[in-house]
């Protein structure tokens, strides 16, 4: 059995960082990263981006050395991805704090609205319903993070968490301040508006959960196999025939329902910003599906059927 030699260069400076001798041909990129880490302990595997071209894309951790377009002496280029943090930690950090922040405003804790309003809740029933819906949403997200989601990438750059947390935490405080304000006024169309909004919210929450379950079942535990998402017997998943990322579709729908329920401008802005970001993600995933699967359903749109 022939062995490989692998040299790893700095993608920016072309400086030789490491030379690996007698590497097994069936070694994966994960194996090579672990070998590289032994000589450069500051760059643990999750921080490493290895590529065949200095300006090319990062290779997948499951790539096998002998299947790469290289000779018996392989040259790989390294880039430091920076400090990393696990996706589970990211989501738990992002979602737990909005839940707590909102409840602080709901219970009118001291120093938020002034001493005369301490621990006094609003007389409007929609305030209590909004608190239940908001809490339900983030508790659902936390439980999904722990028990449902499977992550194709184990980590993300640590620096990104600050931006993400500012979005979730900041908007949670902003919308909670107005919705739970002692001077808050109920929606213009009263109970009918609140009932319609609640139906939209709950429908989309169930849809979002159904899509997450379907995506989880699409990839067996421990596998990185990618398949075309397909509808199941659950009617909420039939939207897969028209949309590549229906989890985002339902997510946006939930927040639109919450905005109608509360008739609160910060909620509407939160929904708009979220929709823009999720559209970017959905378009990227949609293009990835089109490139990877030649038989991908032609009628599918990224996030909104037939439109976007």
Domain map (residue ranges) of the chain: 4-82, 85-292
What is the tens place of the pLDDT at every residue in 48-58?
A: 999 999 888 88
For residue 120, what pLDDT is reported? 64
Rounded to an integer, what distance in angstroms lies between the CA atom of residue 289 and that of residue 12? 31
CATH topology of domain 4-82: Ubiquitin-like (UB roll) (3.10.20)
For residue 86, what pLDDT is reported? 87
Rounded to an integer, what distance in angstroms lies between the CA atom of residue 186 and that of residue 181? 11
* 8 Å CB contact between 270 and 171: yes
Rounded to an integer, what distance in angstroms lies between the CA atom of residue 50 and that of residue 76? 6
* Overall average pLDDT of the 104-116 stretch: 81
Residue 121 has pLDDT above 70, yes or no: no
**Angle, alpha carbons 164-170-174 (nearest 5°):** 150
* 8 Å CB contact between 214 and 229: yes
Sort strands 73-80 and 4-10 into parallel, antiparallel or unpaired. parallel
Report pTM: 0.84
What is the tens place of the pLDDT at every residue in 132-181?
A: 999 999 999 999 999 998 876 678 888 888 888 999 999 999 999 999 98
Residue 122: pLDDT band (50, 70, 90) is low
DSSP notation for 176-241 = HHHHT-TT----TTHHHHHHHHHHHHHHHHHHHHHHHHHHHHHS-TT----------SSGGGGGGG
Ranked by mean pLDDT, which of 12-16, 183-187, 264-268 comes out on top? 264-268
Residue 129 has pLDDT above 90, yes or no: yes
Residue 112 has pLDDT above 70, yes or no: yes
Q: Which of 5-19, 68-82, 101-115, 235-249 has the lowest mean pLDDT?
A: 101-115
160-174 b/e with 16+ CB inside 10 Å = b? Answer: eeeeeeebbbebbbb
**What's the chain's average pLDDT?**
90
More confident residue, 26 or 174: 174
């Amino acid at each position: 059995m022939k062995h490989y030699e692998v040299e790893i260069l700095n993608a920016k400076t072309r400086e030789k960082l490491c030379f690996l001798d007698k590497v097994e041909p069936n070694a994966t990129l994960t194996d090579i990263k672990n070998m590289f880490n032994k000589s450069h302990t500051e760059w643990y595997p999750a921080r490493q981006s290895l590529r065949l071209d200095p300006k090319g894309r990062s290779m997948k951790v499951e790539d096998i050395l002998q299947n790469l377009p290289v000779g018996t002496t392989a040259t790989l280029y390294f880039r430091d991805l920076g400090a990393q943090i696990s996706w589970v930690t990211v989501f738990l950090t992002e979602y737990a704090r909005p839940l707590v922040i909102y409840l602080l405003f709901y219970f009118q804790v001291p120093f938020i609205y002034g001493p005369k309003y301490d621990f006094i809740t609003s007389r409007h029933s929609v305030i209590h319903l909004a608190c239940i819906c908001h809490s339900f949403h983030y508790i659902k997200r936390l439980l999904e993070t722990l028990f449902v989601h499977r992550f194709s990438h184990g980590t993300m750059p640590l620096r990104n968490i600050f931006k993400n947390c500012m979005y979730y935490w900041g908007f949670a405080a902003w919308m909670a301040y107005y919705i739970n304000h002692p001077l808050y006024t109920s929606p213009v169309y009263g109970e009918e508006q609140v009932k319609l909004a609640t139906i939209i919210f709950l429908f989309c929450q169930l849809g979002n959960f159904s899509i997450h379950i379907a995506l989880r079942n699409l990839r067996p535990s421990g596998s990185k196999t990618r398949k075309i998402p397909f509808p199941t017997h659950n009617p909420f998943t039939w939207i897969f025939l028209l949309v590549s990322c229906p989890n985002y579709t339902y997510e946006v729908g939930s927040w639109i329902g919450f905005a109608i329920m509360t008739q609160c401008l910060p909620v509407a802005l939160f929904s708009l910003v979220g929709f823009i970001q999720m559209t970017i993600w959905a378009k990227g995933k949609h293009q990835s599906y089109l490139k990877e699967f030649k038989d991908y359903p032609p009628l599918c749109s990224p996030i909104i059927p037939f439109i976007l």
